[in-house]
Structure 1
């Protein structure tokens, strides 16, 4: 997951969510008009690692390619960090994933009949389900809840996505002030503020469960800390660390934990998650939300 401004032909909503999970349950951001933190490593002369991979490839009793050896070496370096979220992504995998998140391509996409945001406008309540925070989701949520009498924001099973979109989603219910604080070693904490004023009067219930993670936890944690929502469901996943990707010269990428985020109340969610205000099993969560809102 990167802070704001840094940012297989498989189909089906479940697969899309699984792919986000595979990429660290993270929130990756590359907001427009801000410098990207995804950068390509400078070209360097052949290294000891290159020499070792060539010689092993040429001398091993069983055939083995140098690319396979280099990938294994990179994976070994990341394992040495002891970072549970560190990952290595081949070039095409990383390109497909970032393109999908930024709506630049849809080689991997959710069910076209549902999409990343689904909305039910009912007489007394608007139910908005966000499956994952891809580009444009925040604006869709803001438009969906405009003029609503009450809102149920369903983040169950949402594994994260773009942090910029999570911030925009939370901003839809806030006038101003902090949404999340990003902390990186050696730097002063960066407080990320509401993007533009939202509806501060509409009652809101947020539905969560054990699959609610990262950027989705930012939204839920922010709205509760800012006294803008009641949280209904079960304890969330608990991911409060920040990952940043670095592109390598062949287009592949390594992603490393570089910091953490905190809710407006100063809470670090890593390994802890968010305990709901109203604990209830998932099957009963929406009805309980209606009870809390006192709507049918």
Structure 2
């Protein structure tokens, strides 16, 4: 068959078959698998089908324009879900000191929450019980499980809404306090630009319900909810499926939470303690 020679770039040429009236036969498994077959049999250097399929999935997710959509290979997804559920901690390389660290003092309790993994909400509730005042430190907390955030906020509320969840194609759902908490203990929440997602749900809920003074710097501003969809080989795609609103109806996406008292990270805890001294008359 005659061929055309097309040149482009610098000294690069490729042989392109001349136009033909013969149409290629349709691939039994569709265009994507046809392209996979051709690339696997012809590409140099060689590439595997699994590599191509992962690249195709990642490309589809990028086309959504969603910064939170991502693909998890099977082992990575297993590690990630195990970490969230507290089964094992292989995702984070640094030594674990616990996702909730509690410092009890005579006049207050400082509760530092690193991330909202399984069981964190009940730990916060137990740590706050009987304390004369609470500093809830959410600085650098990137989020985690929505239900653990709701349980954490519930530890300081007696009833009512914690967050509104708007999922695509469904009626908005108001998620309320799981069980009555201590609605009288003075609370300061420490935040910074690393406070995101589920951590913002807690801070936003307590602020809107007039249950906490927010101290620190503006939070990250993530107001969307992601959900993983498991694929047949054990991998998963994580997609944005909805958004959340604070009890006062604020969408934090790209905005974040402005603190009641601005303080840099090195001074936030001191400022928070001063606020509690004023609230408790210490």
Partner of 1:15: none
- SS at 1:294 equivalent: helix
* Higher relative contact order (Cα pairs below 8 Å, separated by 6+ residues): 1
Cα deviation, residue 293, structure 1: 0.8
Give structure 1 stretches of 5+ with no counterpart: 1-44
SS in 1 for 2:125: helix
Q: Counterpart in 1 of 2:210?
A: 227
1:53-64 equivalences in 2 (<5 Å): 53-64=36-47
Moved over 4 A (4+): none
Find the counterpart in structure 2 of residue 206 from structure 1: 189
CA contact (8 A) 1:232 1:279 kept: yes
2:266 alignment partner, SS class? helix
2:163 aligned with 1:180: yes
Structure 1 counterpart of 2:240: 257
| 2:68 aligned residue (64, 85, 88) | 85
| Cα shift at 1:61 | 3.0
**2:153 aligns with one of 163, 170, 187:** 170
- Where do residues 271-286 of structure 1 align in structure 2 (5 Å cutoff)? 271-286=254-269
The equivalent residue for 1:49 is 32
Q: C-alpha separation between the residues in 2 aligned to 1:260 and 1:144?
A: 30
Write the distance in 2 (CA, Å) between the matches of 1:219 and 1:102: 19
The answer for the alignment partner of 1:239 in structure 2 is 222
TM-score norm. by structure 2 comes to 0.86
Aligned counterpart, 1:13: none
Moved more, 195-204 or 250-259: 250-259
- Aligned residue for 2:47, secondary structure, equals coil
Does 1:133 find its partner at 2:77?
A: no
Q: Larger Cα Rg: Structure 1 or Structure 2?
A: 2
Distance 1:234 1:287 in 2: 14
Residue 51 of structure 1: how far off its partner (Å): 2.7
Distance across 2 between alignment mates of 1:47 and 1:247: 22
Stretches of structure 2 that go unaligned for 5 or more consecutive residues are: 1-27
Question: 2:60 & 2:176 partners in 1: Cα distance?
Answer: 36
CA apart distance, 1:248: 0.9
**1:205-240, CA deviations, whole angstroms, 9 ceiling, x for partnerless residues?**
000000000000000000000000000000000000
In the superposition, the TM-score normalised over structure 1's length comes to 0.82
**Which residue does 1:156 correspond to in 2?**
139
Native 8 Å contact 1:49 1:70 kept in 2: no
Q: How many residues align?
A: 251
Aligned runs of 1:58-77 on 2, under 5 Å?
A: 58-77=41-60
CA distance in 2, matches of 1:198, 1:161: 21
